[in-house]
């Protein structure tokens, strides 16, 4: 594995790989790798010939009162994990390398999909994400880019941006990965103390019980959302920010479950803002409940 810090060098290595007839895969990250990140690298390694993983804590996607300075970092550990996943290039640019002229004056904005859910509490976040991802697509020129479904809104936004701008990149969503206790894997889990970590389990438990209600025949979004709110409210260390049923493709609110929808939640647990979701696929009497691929837990459940 080669560690690269310069845009010019990364672009040259990707050009060389394409010139040799290799497909280029991209996994954009902010580092502090866990099993979820490694699952993205594994999927990319299987699907592409030349794998680039980027590690950049992007300042433009953090608001003024967010955790940019405190965001967990472990370059040495991340490099070892990436090498174990047979990554070809780990790109670790500085802020000055990515934004040599200061904060960018050109910003990529995806209207509609970014206003609600996490966008309501983090108004600058998605513009920062889409702008830096567009830059990475331009630098790397991947045939395929891999993103986790835990950040479901981010995945939908990037897919729409890629389609709207006719970018020649296949954006693939990879399963949400859970800890053995059900908590969705996140770099921000490192902020949780022991009591907060136990409390955080209520989010995945509430989503699982919501899935059970859908499997039992419930189709009303407000009922599903209320059930999640009631469960989370019983855990005083967890402050629910939102729970909403949305269309999985457009992120429009849905009054009833039909087709593919996502039940998404966000909550503050101590210093950590945590997000989680379950994807529900409803086609008549056939239902699938996709909670991801946790160790020791079930993933997709279906009836009949």
Residues catalogued as catalytic: 37
Token look-up 């949305």 returns 246
- Whether residue 304 is preceded by a cis peptide bond, meaning omega within 30 degrees of 0, is yes
HSE of 136 in the Cβ direction (CA atoms, 13 Å)? 30
Q: Torsions phi, psi of 288, nearest 5?
A: -125, 135
Distance CA 45, CA 88 (A): 9
Return the C-alpha torsion angle 193, 66, 123, 266, nearest 10: 0
């Amino acid at each position: 594995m080669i560690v690269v810090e310069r845009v010019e060098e990364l672009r040259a290595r990707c050009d060389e790989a394409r010139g040799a007839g290799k497909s280029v895969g991209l996994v954009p990250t902010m580092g502090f790798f866990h099993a979820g990140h490694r699952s993205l690298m594994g999927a990319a390694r299987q699907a592409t010939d030349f794998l680039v993983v980027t590690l950049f804590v992007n300042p433009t996607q953090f608001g003024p009162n967010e955790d940019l300075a405190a965001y967990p970092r472990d370059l040495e550990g991340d490099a070892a994990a990436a090498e174990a996943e047979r990554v070809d290039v780990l790109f670790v640019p500085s802020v000055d390398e990515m934004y040599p002229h200061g904060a960018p004056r050109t910003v990529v904005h995806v209207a509609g999909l970014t206003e609600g859910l996490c966008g309501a509490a983090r108004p600058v976040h998605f513009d920062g994400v889409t702008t830096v991802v567009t830059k990475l697509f331009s630098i790397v020129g991947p045939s395929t880019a891999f993103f986790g479904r835990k950040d479901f809104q981010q995945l939908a936004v990037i897919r729409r941006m890629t389609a709207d701008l006719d970018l020649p990149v296949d954006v693939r969503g990879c399963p949400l990965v859970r800890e053995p206790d059900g908590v969705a894997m996140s770099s921000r889990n490192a902020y949780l103390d022991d009591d907060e970590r136990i409390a955080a389990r209520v989010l995945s438990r509430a989503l699982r019980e919501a899935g059970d209600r859908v499997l039992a025949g419930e189709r009303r979004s407000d009922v599903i959302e209320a059930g999640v709110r009631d469960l989370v409210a019983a855990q005083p260390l967890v402050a629910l920010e939102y729970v909403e049923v949305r269309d999985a493709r457009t992120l429009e609110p849905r009054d009833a479950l039909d087709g593919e929808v996502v039940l998404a939640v966000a909550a503050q647990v101590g210093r950590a803002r945590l997000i989680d979701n379950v994807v529900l696929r409803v086609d008549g009497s056939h239902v699938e409940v996709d909670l991801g691929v946790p160790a020791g837990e079930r993933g997709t459940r279906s009836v009949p």
